Amino acid sequence: MRAALILEHGDRNNVVVGDYPKPVADHGEVLVKVKSVSLNHLDIFVRRGIPGRKLELPHISGGDVAGIVEEVGQGVANVTPGDRVLIDPHIPGKGALGEDTTGGLAEYVKVPAGNLIPLPDNISFDEAAALPIAYGTAWRMLITQGKLQANETIVILGASGGVGNAAVLIAKLAGARIIAAAGSDSKAEKLKKLGADHVINYNKTDFSKEVWSLTGKQGADVVVDYTGKATWPQSIKATRKGGRILTCGATTGFEAVTDLRYVWVREISIIGSNGWGERDLHTLLDLVSRKKLKPVIDRVLPLDDIREAHRLIEEREFFGKIIIHP
């Protein structure tokens, strides 16, 4: 089968489209014909090499996968060939699809049958593939962990990416007042059209001062910061007394400086959120099916354009999800 192969860790020239053995579904497993794969920053991190993580090369990344059941292994009774499915990327006992195990940037992928979620006919493969990692992470962070409420003011940093777009849409569903931050005026305008009440270009202004002004010198109820080192000090300052900061990662570095004076004086809660739960994915699919939520898709590319897809993510020339069709 054809697949996007990471030959060695490093720059995007190390990703090539080539032949790879077609998987065979073992006991309890299912072979899925891949229709759509959504890329994430995680694909970039896997290609570059994650410290402390050793992968057998060549490796296939890609954790967000939707497709059609091709064949089932022995002992599988809950699905049949031809079923439309979304794959939950969390593989019990093995880690994350595409990160710890062979992923879906290929014509076929095999996964445990228990990781398949039925895909309603009124949801496209592209929409479904956009959901698990970005929208699942955002839902858990804002709703399950963050307990976001109607009329609260939320600041969303990095709002133009997959998780950021998802956070804006989910915050809108929750009835919150949204201040979205991005790195360009054009992305800020798109965020306004997406539903943000206020937008900030953080390359032009100190977003913490802008938030302070927009909130009448009170600060935000909730600040979403998965950027980390580059923005953390400002996020602390932008949070009101009794407010909370939500984080699910740190794309600019883990060594973020926390001025503890603000934390104790303002009684700020810092809440971590890691990934998603299967229930979160079912909830998201239901929202999409009922037209309450529409994932933002930047563009759809063929597998042969995988390097261009990596470039777009690395150089932040995208808004929403980038979908690959193997």
The three-class DSSP label of residue 78 is coil
What's residue 47's pLDDT?
97
What's residue 263's pLDDT?
97
Question: What average pLDDT does the structure give for the chain?
Answer: 96
Alpha-carbon distance of 66 to 185, in angstroms, equals 33
> What separation in angstroms does the CA of 287 have from each of 174, 283, 325?
13, 6, 24
Average pLDDT over residues 34-56: 93
Query: What is this structure's pTM?
Result: 0.94
- Name residue 184's amino acid: S
Q: Tens digit of pLDDT for each residue in 249-279? A: 998 889 999 999 999 999 999 999 999 999 9
Helices (H), the chain: 41-48, 125-129, 136-139, 162-174, 185-194, 207-214, 232-238, 260-265, 278-289, 306-314
For residue 73, pLDDT beyond 90: yes
DSSP states of 206-249 as a string? -HHHHHHHHTTSS-EEEEE--S-TTTHHHHHHHEEEEEEEEES-
Beta carbons of 211 and 179 less than 8 angstroms apart: yes
H or E, element range at 26: none
What's residue 153's pLDDT?
98
Beta carbons of 195 and 172 less than 8 angstroms apart: yes
Beta bridge partners of 17: 4
Q: Tens digit of pLDDT for each residue in 288-308? A: 999 999 999 999 999 999 999
Q: Tens digit of pLDDT for each residue in 7-16? A: 999 999 999 9
Closest Cα to residue 18, out of 106, 114, 130?
A: 106
> And the tokens for 245?
């900061």
- Name residue 33's amino acid: K
Provide, for the chain, the percentages of residues in helix, strand and coil under a 3-state DSSP scheme, each rounded to the nearest 5: 30, 30, 40
Q: Tens digit of pLDDT for each residue in 90-148? A: 999 999 999 999 999 999 999 999 999 999 999 999 999 999 999 999 999 999 999 99
Instruction: Determine how many CB atoms are found less than 10 A away from the CB of residue 311.
Output: 13
Q: What proportion of the chain, given as a percentage, has pLDDT over 90?
A: 94
